[in-house]
Amino acid sequence: MGTTAVERPATVATTRVRQRRVVGLGTLVGILVIAAAVSLAVGARALSPAEVWHGLSAPPDPDQRLTEIRLIVRTVRVPRTVLAIVAGVALGVGGALIQGYTRNPIADTGLLGVNSGASFAVVSAIALFGLSDPFQYVWFGFLGAAVAGVVVFGLASIGRGAGNPLTLALAGQGVTVFLAAMTTAVALSDQKSLNALRFWNSGSVAGVGFDVIWPMTAFIAAGLLLALTTLPAINLLNLGDDVARGLGVNIALSRTVGVTAITLLAGAATTACGPIAFLGLMVAHVARYLTGPDYRWLVPCAGLLGAIVLLVCDIVGRVVVRPGELDAGVLVALLGAPFFAVMVWRGKFRNA
pLDDT (tens digit, 9 = 90+) per residue, 87-140?
A: 999 999 999 998 888 887 777 887 778 888 888 888 888 888 877 776 777 788
Nearest to 259 by CA among 167, 350, 122: 167
Domains of the chain: 7-102+201-351 (1.10.3470.10)
Q: What is the pLDDT of residue 351?
A: 44
Cα dihedral sign, 125-129-132-134: negative
Q: What is the pLDDT of residue 201?
A: 75
Nearest to 152 by CA among 256, 78, 271: 256
Q: What is the pLDDT of residue 156?
A: 77
List the single range of 43-52, 54-63, 94-103, 306-315 with lowest mean pLDDT.
Answer: 54-63
pTM, 2 dp: 0.88
Mean pLDDT, the chain, whole residue set: 85
> 3 or 213: which carries more pLDDT confidence?
213
Question: Stretch 287-293: mean pLDDT, rounded?
Answer: 91
Q: What is the pLDDT of residue 305?
A: 97
> 340 or 99: which carries more pLDDT confidence?
99
Q: What is the pLDDT of residue 1?
A: 47
Residues 19 and 25: their CA atoms lie apart, in Å, by 10
Question: Stretch 50-79: mean pLDDT, rounded?
Answer: 84
Nearest to 254 by CA among 227, 224, 230: 230
Quick: pLDDT tens for 199-252: 777 788 988 889 889 989 999 999 999 999 999 899 998 888 888 888 888 888
Question: Stretch 167-181: mean pLDDT, rounded?
Answer: 86
Question: Stretch 277-306: mean pLDDT, rounded?
Answer: 92
The band of 32, judged by pLDDT with boundaries at 50, 70 and 90, is very high
Q: What is the pLDDT of residue 153?
A: 79
Q: What percent of the chain has pLDDT over 70?
A: 91
Do 180 and 141 form a contact (C-beta atoms < 8 A)? no
> 142 or 351: which carries more pLDDT confidence?
142
The band of 4, judged by pLDDT with boundaries at 50, 70 and 90, is low
Nearest to 315 by CA among 47, 81, 71: 81
